[in-house]
Structure 1
Amino acid sequence: MNKYPYLGSPLTIRGIYYRNRIFSTPTGLTWPDEYSGAPDFRTVMLYEKKARGGAASVNYGETPVNAVDAVRRPNVDEIRPDFKRMVLPAKDWIKYTDAITRHGANPCIQLAHAGLFAEPFFNRDSNGTVVGPVDMSKESGTHVKAMDQADMDRIANDFAEAAFCAVQAGFNQIMIQCCHGWLLAQFLSPAWNTRTDEFGGSIENRAKFPLQVFKAVREKVGPKVVIQTRISGDEHQNNGWSLDDCVAFCKMIDKYVDIIEISSGDYHNSEHYCWVNPLMDHFINIPIARELKKRGVTSYISAVGGHNDPKKMDDLIREGVIDFFSIGRGILADSDLPKKWLTGKEEDVKPCIRCSDCMAGLYNGFYQCNINPTVGQEAYLLNTPSPQSSKRVLIVGGGVGGMQAAITACDRGHQVTLVEKNDCLGGTLLFTDYGHKDDLKQLKDYYIRQVNKRGIHVLYDTEANLTLLDRLRPTDIIVASGSSPRIPDIPGIEYAKHATAGYYQADTIGQKVVLIGGGLINCELAVKFAEEGKDITILELTDIILRDANMFIKPTIEEIFRKYASSVHVVKNASTKSISADAVTYEDTECVEHILPADTVLYAIGSIGNNKVVEELRSWPYWESFRAVGDCTGAGIVKKAIHQGYFAAMDIL
């Protein structure tokens, strides 16, 4: 069955067969073998899962082309396939490429050079030299040497040699990183390239060195290898390169490359555009792809950018707007996404919530998917024994943590009863039914569908207590009772509602809104209300807002706040003193009181775990295993509930 004939249609390029039009993009999560530096067995298992899931191409990710001046961060350095040092590169890498090809996908590797953003400390052969398009000093004090022709020749050869060795190791598709502020993008962008010689100024001049790289790679690998590149269609930075520049350059490389993948942003000034988040549109780069086709670029076109609707994707390919769709985080959330889409099982795809915590984790060393607890854990999960018998499992709480626990326990053969005190499942995420955070709503709806599709006995409008335990006699108990909003001790608080638990609707929100608390919940609400034309004031007790937002969400919200500066007002160091039916009074750091007219007041200052039920149920003396998971053990993000719910269920043996 192929529900989407265009999205699922095969295509052959240079003799290389692509079984459909869905590419798995670089997403990190790679680990080095301690001897060779090539991908270890954990990496192979993760990427093999992507190939088994139905993607036509699986991209290994950013790989520096040398150990002299190309590396920008340590985890990439440690997993670098240093092809020029390997005596037998195929010996060390074939286990990876074979794991991709044996499932019918094409292995691709992204070759890159960090340019002026390389760090000498992470380049093992470095003499402290960093190179880039212009001579400059970085904030760290590191000097950047403007590349001369000898540097360009050397680095172009590094790209070519790395590509050649990659092909020898089994890669039949090579991606040249040409966006997001890497070296080639630094030459192409007038924001970075201010040279006044033959390599600066016009797009023809700025493109000379990148063209040298593409030419060198094509000549080295020959005509039977697919060359792909990734381009930022819009850098979203001052003096960044234009769409006209993008079209002109893509036409220049048409004779060397086969596939051009459109992205956006720059790691260093507009990083939040590189991985779109819930505050951005889905299919965000399609207008650029459409323009490239319209203006005569002949290479096949792909794009990244929150692709989550296979029907729309099928239509866009049919209309000739685009040829492939590249998906990264969506395939982290569900590695079987391509297979499920193309066989009409869309409702079984666990939807990516675009939180970007996975990518933010690249920078704090804790890189996991918030909603898929198995990503990166494939090897460790092999150590989980199978259940010895079918247990009677009781799950308390119908939020995402409880539902994940129930689904996992059921899939492992246990008899599962899920108890929910309300008349529906969804827990805290029920607020998404009211027009806010659609990505989270899709996740909530997915979990409800999966519970309903299984033989899970759900008891609605039921309080979990000792009497219930005496009746059900479970062998194993998992409590996911969630949390309750922390209510601020403010006179007149009865005139306010909690920002999400109040289940706000558009017709209940007035024109003048005061939000008490400057965390992510209220700031995202401020965005929603600003787009609806309301006047919003955020009162934050400290001098920092968005303390709980990651490095991609925060700049997006700050950018939107600047756009709506006339209607979104942020007051820091503001102590709320009282609330009335039509106003809020706060005090500033000078102890001066201010009165804000307010039609609606919402607060979000944290949550308190519902642990009373935990302690009551724990006191029942007949259980074999007992676990409390999620917010009832202390408020956290959705990841905590899902991951803890999953592993608690896996531990029932």
Structure 2
Amino acid sequence: MTLIDRDRSTGTRGVLGGPGGGDGSSLEVLYTPARIGRLTLKNRFIQSPMHSKFSSEFGEVSDKLTDYLVERAKGGAAMIILENTAVDWARGRAAGNPVRIDDDLFVAGLSDLTEAVHREGAMIATQLHHAGRQCSTANTEGGVGALAPSAITSTAIGDEPHAMTHEQIAEVVQQFRDAARRSVMAGFDMIEIHGSHGYLLTQFLSPQANHRTDEYGGSFENRARFPLEVVRAVREEIGPDFPLSYRISLEERVEGGMEADDGLAFCTLIEPYVDVFNVTAATYESMDSIFMMQGREPGELLPLAARVKAIVGKPVVGISRLGWILDAAADSVAAGEMDFVAMGRTQLTDAKLILKVKNGESDRARRCIGCNECVGTFLFGGWRLHCVMNPELGYEREANALLRPQFGATRKRVVVIGGGPAGAEAARAAALRGHDVQLFEARDRIGGQVLTASAADYKKREMEAYVTYFERELEHVGVRVHTGAALGADHPALVDADVVVVATGARVSAAGEPGALDAVEVMRTGSPLSGEVLVQGANEIALNAAAYAAQQGAQVTVVTGERAAGYDMNPILAAHTVQLLERAGVRIVADAGAAAVEASTTTLWAPDWVADPEPVAGLEWLAGLPGSVEVVEVGARVKGGRLYQATQSGFWAGTRI
């Protein structure tokens, strides 16, 4: 059994270096104007909303939020949809600190945001949002508990909500109406009603979440009553011509949830009141269809958009990792199956992807690798939004100031040792600051552990594209890259260097059992595996090695010991990866006894990788350099950790040179 299904029509299209890899005339339709109601958008690209926690703790627009969205406006998006904008801060906001629009006093900050985006030639919409039962009790003021159609707990949240009274239903309808008025006051170009992903309006439509016996529950017509009242109230408030979008999870993908037929019926019901449909799927109980990860094919949700487009006369927005398959997205637009391409995490990873692709520089665009650290590690961990690949996310103002030649600064000769993510980020940043940079990599290609991880087929596309990005980007910014290069203190580049950046990676935490093979080395060298394979370890390396062995036809058992499989990954990605492995026939057990290991079994050891405790460990010859040479260590060799620590460490070290 394979780990990934490549048989779908979009399965091999749009991948960098493949057919229709992202440049050329096939994409021209995506750069043509199109209308939403009275608006004419300059192209077909919409930035999908994504919770960032960049607003203030009180929910006000901040400089950080503005800088982040302005950078995406500069990057070419025709329309930016602001993240979930709370109409009910007390009982209905998303976790932490979303943007709020529940009082007139927030209009001033929101108007600053719309003006800033407009100056860059983009339009901006607000997304009116109420979390319903997907708001935890801890996130409500006074711990009063969330509101929902019925007192049925979401398994994704775990807190029992309160069933809404008729008075509360009327109050929330008024909150949406008032938020719509404020959206117009603040200068937004469009309003989107958030009726997807398991939030309050979805809950009323859902047979799983809505068990009411009054006029708001039971039949489809009754379940649709409340969201329809919201749509009508907003339309009445903003008048007949102001553009209105509805974002819908056409199907919930949970047992007993709303199926696509009801979703389509609701689209038909609200079509007279809206100007565009933004089509997605799922709730937080089926999260892997919201945040699609490695091993899921891009474009999986496009058939849902096509089904809506087939029955309505209004424009339709499609989504699902479309940054990977822009050629397929363009074909869908040309065929009349959708009208606009929405990108969310893609826009986090590279704010300029839209312009890079238009200019024929697709290989210089970062593509989201689908690791879901942005949500599963950072947002769920109480942090603001971060991207493991893009250290500039959330720091756009600082990065823009630093990534340019510094007036009056001395141009330095910089040598970077190591071509993994930390070394590549340091080299890129230093070169953009105007320095003369050379990068030396001992192996025949840069990429480090990212390249090793590409041995697992289910993540090969993402990892290979990331390495290709760095190869093209370093060339673009003028870094001279030397692969297969051995260095010593007498190397001419080091003799003349002003700064040496050491980015040689982490070290193995402990030795494996006698006879066990290093899992990383097996994957790096492409060693063949067959028969019975035992993988010792529970970290991401162990799971990658299991996938690598399974794709070669081996019978694989992972022995995790006392730790859970994927303990060093975010919980969403870990669960997703375990599911992929189990579908491929991989056994995951706690101890070797339970695995019934044969004597002929090949054993792989997947240790943790940790920081070196001693400065320049393994490179003691650096002590022979002149005292005037500055030596800087970056990445996993000093930070430990994972990809995020490597890219952050390398990038910010490069900006300090």
- Give me the TM-score of the superposition, normalised by structure 1: 0.88
Equivalenced residues, count? 622
1:602 to 601, 604, 610: 604
Residue in structure 2 matched with residue 40 of structure 1 by the alignment: 62
Deviations along 1:23-76, whole A, 9 cap, x unmatched?
Answer: 111123343458x84211221111111111100111210111123422242322
1:75 to 97, 104, 109: 97
- Residues 1:300 and 2:315 aligned together: yes
Q: Structure 1 residues 237 and 352, CA, compared in 2 at 3 Å: closer, same or farther? A: same
2:180 to 163, 166, 169: 163
Residue in structure 2 matched with residue 331 of structure 1 by the alignment: 347
Q: Structure 1 residues 409 and 525, CA, compared in 2 at 3 Å: closer, same or farther? A: same
Residue in structure 2 matched with residue 646 of structure 1 by the alignment: 651
- Residues 1:239 and 2:278 aligned together: no
- Residues 1:262 and 2:282 aligned together: no
Q: Structure 1 residues 428 and 133, CA, compared in 2 at 3 Å: closer, same or farther? A: same
Q: Structure 1 residues 247 and 526, CA, compared in 2 at 3 Å: closer, same or farther? A: farther
Measured after TM superposition, the shift of residue 482 of structure 1 is 1.6
Q: Percent identity, aligned pairs only? A: 27
Which amino acid letter does the alignment assign opposite residue 373 of structure 1? P
Unaligned runs of 5+ in 2: 1-22
2:192 alignment partner, SS class: strand
CA contact (8 A) 2:639 2:645 kept: no
Residue in structure 2 matched with residue 117 of structure 1 by the alignment: 134
Deviations along 1:449-499, whole A, 9 cap, x unmatched?
Answer: 222334323333332332226853211111111235456431222xx3414
Distance 1:517 1:71 in 2: 40
RMSD, matched Cα: 2.7
Which amino acid letter does the alignment assign opposite residue 263 of structure 1? T
Residue in structure 1 matched with residue 640 of structure 2 by the alignment: 635
Deviations along 1:418-477, whole A, 9 cap, x unmatched?
Answer: 122223322223335546312111001110122233432333333233222685321111
Q: Structure 1 residues 460 and 631, CA, compared in 2 at 3 Å: closer, same or farther? A: same
Q: Structure 1 residues 512 and 148, CA, compared in 2 at 3 Å: closer, same or farther? A: same
Residue in structure 1 matched with residue 11 of structure 2 by the alignment: none
Q: Structure 1 residues 561 and 448, CA, compared in 2 at 3 Å: closer, same or farther? A: closer
- Residues 1:480 and 2:480 aligned together: no
- Residues 1:492 and 2:515 aligned together: yes
1:284 alignment partner, SS class: coil
Q: Structure 1 residues 597 and 219, CA, compared in 2 at 3 Å: closer, same or farther? A: farther
- Residues 1:375 and 2:393 aligned together: yes
Q: Structure 1 residues 556 and 37, CA, compared in 2 at 3 Å: closer, same or farther? A: closer
1:91 to 101, 108, 125: 108
Superposed, 1:379-458 pairs within 5 Å as 379-381=397-399, 384=402, 386=406, 388-432=409-453, 434=455, 436=457, 437=459, 438-458=461-481
Which amino acid letter does the alignment assign opposite residue 473 of structure 2? Q
Distance 1:433 1:72 in 2: 35
Residue in structure 2 matched with residue 5 of structure 1 by the alignment: 28
Q: Structure 1 residues 598 and 341, CA, compared in 2 at 3 Å: closer, same or farther? A: farther
Deviations along 1:480-529, whole A, 9 cap, x unmatched?
Answer: 11235456431222xx3414653364x82214332211222322454565
Q: Structure 1 residues 458 and 118, CA, compared in 2 at 3 Å: closer, same or farther? A: closer
Which amino acid letter does the alignment assign opposite residue 489 of structure 2? L
1:231 alignment partner, SS class: strand
Q: Structure 1 residues 56 and 247, CA, compared in 2 at 3 Å: closer, same or farther? A: same
Measured after TM superposition, the shift of residue 217 of structure 1 is 0.7
Measured after TM superposition, the shift of residue 626 of structure 1 is 2.2
CA contact (8 A) 2:639 2:646 kept: no
CA contact (8 A) 1:519 1:548 kept: yes
Q: Structure 1 residues 225 and 411, CA, compared in 2 at 3 Å: closer, same or farther? A: same
Superposed, 1:106-255 pairs within 5 Å as 106-119=123-136, 122-124=139-141, 128=144, 130-136=146-152, 144-255=161-272
2:86 to 64, 69, 73: 64
Residue in structure 1 matched with residue 291 of structure 2 by the alignment: 275
Q: Structure 1 residues 262 and 141, CA, compared in 2 at 3 Å: closer, same or farther? A: closer
Q: Structure 1 residues 117 and 444, CA, compared in 2 at 3 Å: closer, same or farther? A: same
Residue in structure 1 matched with residue 19 of structure 2 by the alignment: none
Distance 1:562 1:595 in 2: 18
Q: Structure 1 residues 137 and 458, CA, compared in 2 at 3 Å: closer, same or farther? A: closer
Distance 1:215 1:244 in 2: 22
Which amino acid letter does the alignment assign opposite residue 237 of structure 2? K
Deviations along 1:118-170, whole A, 9 cap, x unmatched?
Answer: 3455444x682532111357899966332233222211111111011111101
Distance 1:420 1:229 in 2: 50
1:153 alignment partner, SS class: helix
Q: Structure 1 residues 340 and 72, CA, compared in 2 at 3 Å: closer, same or farther? A: closer
Which amino acid letter does the alignment assign opposite residue 375 of structure 1? L
Residue in structure 2 matched with residue 557 of structure 1 by the alignment: 577
Unaligned runs of 5+ in 1: 575-585
CA contact (8 A) 2:55 2:61 kept: yes
2:530 to 505, 510, 532: 510
CA contact (8 A) 1:71 1:119 kept: no
Q: Structure 1 residues 552 and 32, CA, compared in 2 at 3 Å: closer, same or farther? A: same
Deviations along 1:246-268, whole A, 9 cap, x unmatched?
Answer: 1111111111222222222212x
Distance 1:161 1:424 in 2: 57
Distance 2:544 2:233 in 1: 47
2:40 to 17, 38, 62: 17
Residue in structure 1 matched with residue 73 of structure 2 by the alignment: 51
Q: Structure 1 residues 608 and 71, CA, compared in 2 at 3 Å: closer, same or farther? A: closer
1:98 alignment partner, SS class: helix
- Give me the TM-score of the superposition, normalised by structure 2: 0.88
CA contact (8 A) 1:14 1:223 kept: no
Distance 1:200 1:528 in 2: 49
Deviations along 1:278-332, whole A, 9 cap, x unmatched?
Answer: 12111121121222233x1333211221112222221111111211111111111
Measured after TM superposition, the shift of residue 602 of structure 1 is 2.6
Measured after TM superposition, the shift of residue 400 of structure 1 is 2.1
Residue in structure 1 matched with residue 16 of structure 2 by the alignment: none
- Residues 1:349 and 2:365 aligned together: yes
Measured after TM superposition, the shift of residue 622 of structure 1 is 2.8
Measured after TM superposition, the shift of residue 531 of structure 1 is 6.4
Measured after TM superposition, the shift of residue 644 of structure 1 is 1.3
Which amino acid letter does the alignment assign opposite residue 302 of structure 2? I
Measured after TM superposition, the shift of residue 627 of structure 1 is 1.2
Distance 1:423 1:616 in 2: 23
Which amino acid letter does the alignment assign opposite residue 264 of structure 2? V
CA contact (8 A) 2:228 2:270 kept: yes
Distance 1:524 1:251 in 2: 45
After the TM superposition, which of the residue ranges 41-50 and 224-233 deviates more from structure 2? 224-233
CA contact (8 A) 2:191 2:244 kept: yes
Which amino acid letter does the alignment assign opposite residue 354 of structure 1? G
Deviations along 1:578-626, whole A, 9 cap, x unmatched?
Answer: xxxxxxxx356xxxx9433666433312225574245542563434532
2:438 alignment partner, SS class: strand
Measured after TM superposition, the shift of residue 561 of structure 1 is 4.9
2:524 alignment partner, SS class: coil
Distance 1:67 1:609 in 2: 43
